[in-house]
Chain A
């Protein structure tokens, strides 16, 4: 029974991770030069940074209470907070230090606030900064990613009998597996849920399902062998 719940936790955590990573607006290297919309880091690393902040909060909460909802939600909110501050900091640099208006390169009008993008976009670029729709997409993405990481950690601590540090680093590893698979699927840059690339999501979900399943097999083997 414990084994089945462990598998469910890890696989569900992996799926949530993949979904979250696809929603984060990542511009990669071009964004650091104001040539693409989104955060100016790679997909894998910004999602890992956000989820690790969430994991840190979730691990402290897990010592206080064993309620799955509270642990997962604290991981999610910790991750969301990190992402929100990071995107706001990026926008401060774009608007105040570089004098650029945050716009998207994939759509002409913001789907949420209905403010036009096209008149403000620099020609020969793919947008710049983190406009409102990408910001909200990033916040939701960090929420899902953080909850995925916290769910994996919760499963490992409670159903695989891992100690807290071992569960922490294993959760980081399983999260990275899913994040890297999703990054390959995205292929570099994505602006959020309004980006046409978002439609490639099902492919990554299948891959992350299989990847998480393999990780869960290893985790249960280690748990069966009595921990490392």
Chain B
């Protein structure tokens, strides 16, 4: 019989808040060094004659990349923790080493991709390359630090009932892949649809004829990644954080509610399953209303 104490609720809330931060910074990191699907346009830009000063990173795509960073970080943190180091040192050291791995992968990715575009006369701008490495590392560090802390809480600190049977490195891999797929499907839309084609009309999907012709001259001269990340930090990043934070919050909440209501372990799990289905039905209704709101407010497509 699992008793709901203030400790278990507090740790569940901490996990949700850390997830919010992790999600925000994961998306912003993929904006400060162009990664994942919108980077396909940066890649295409040189090929259609749009020489640019973007950091063409694209390490594999976000889910496997974050799987690597978080698994490395959680693995090293776990190793240091088993050797007696305190968590407050072990976790940042693990995240720091993952940041070094991240910078290595970013460098090889950028240099490899851009040197392959030599015949399209896209130069490797050394100032872009050197200067962006640190913002990429710092944004990634915060995301990886948050995920590693979540793994630590779930593996070691969380009271009985919500504690995970998986060790820290495996949890790092799982949450890394999850946060990468969420960041890729939520926040990258803001980068790819809105900011990357800022000079196209607002309020339409980007047509196939626009592909590759990204915005290069912008508010403060020639556009670079820092212009992108400052814009996406206003909408895309926080929404990504909200999604990942909500997922972890509602997962823990429905489990805790099930523990409270049910009398036997089977009943507790059954209740949490039922509550989960109820939450999904509410989300389906919210999506229906959101789409209806957009249809009514924006109206039919105008123009050709």
Contact = CB atoms under 8 A, between A and B. Distances in A.
Interface of A: 28-29, 31-35, 39-42, 45-46, 48-50, 52-53, 55-57, 59-65, 67, 70, 73-74, 77-78, 80-82, 84-102, 113, 115, 119-125, 127-132, 135-136, 139, 164-165, 168-169, 172
B250 to A, nearest CB: 6
27 contacts: A32-B193, A34-B189, A35-B208, A40-B188, A45-B62, A45-B181, A59-B164, A62-B165, A64-B268, A65-B266, A70-B273, A80-B280, A82-B178, A84-B283, A86-B182, A93-B236, A93-B239, A96-B235, A98-B203, A99-B202, A100-B294, A101-B295, A115-B292, A122-B301, A125-B205, A168-B174, A172-B174
A217 to B, nearest CB: 24
A90 B251 contact: no
A77 B205 contact: no
Interface in B177-230: 177-178, 180-182, 184-194, 196-197, 202-211
A33 B174 contact: no
Contacts, number: 269
B85 interface: no
Interface stretch (B5-13, B49-57, B240-248): B240-248
A89 B240 contact: yes
B269 A61 contact: yes
Contact of B162 (A60, A88, A139): A60
A97 B185 contact: no
Interface of B: 36-38, 40-41, 61-64, 162-167, 170-171, 173-174, 177-178, 180-182, 184-194, 196-197, 202-211, 235-236, 239-240, 242-243, 246-247, 250-251, 255, 265-266, 268-270, 272-273, 276-277, 279-280, 283-284, 286-288, 290-295, 298, 300-301, 304
B255 to A, nearest CB: 8
A132 B186 contact: no
B170 A93 contact: no
B236 to A, nearest CB: 6
A94 B191 CA distance: 11
A48 B63 CA distance: 9
Contacts of A98: 189-190, 193-194, 202-203
A132 B205 contact: no
Contact of B38 (A33, A70, A90): A33
Nearest to B286: A88
Nearest to B188: A32
A88 B287 contact: yes
Contacts of A86: 181-182, 185-186, 243, 247
Contacts of B293: 95
A132 B203 CA distance: 20
B269 A74 contact: yes
B194 to A, nearest CB: 5
Contacts of A169: 170, 173
A172 B204 CA distance: 38
A81 B203 contact: no
Nearest to B274: A77
Nearest to A100: B205
A85 B247 contact: yes
B302 to A, nearest CB: 10
Given A64-B268, A88-B287, A81 B166 contact: no
A38 B41 CA distance: 18
Which residue, A84, A130, A131, has most C-beta atoms of chain B within 10 A? A84
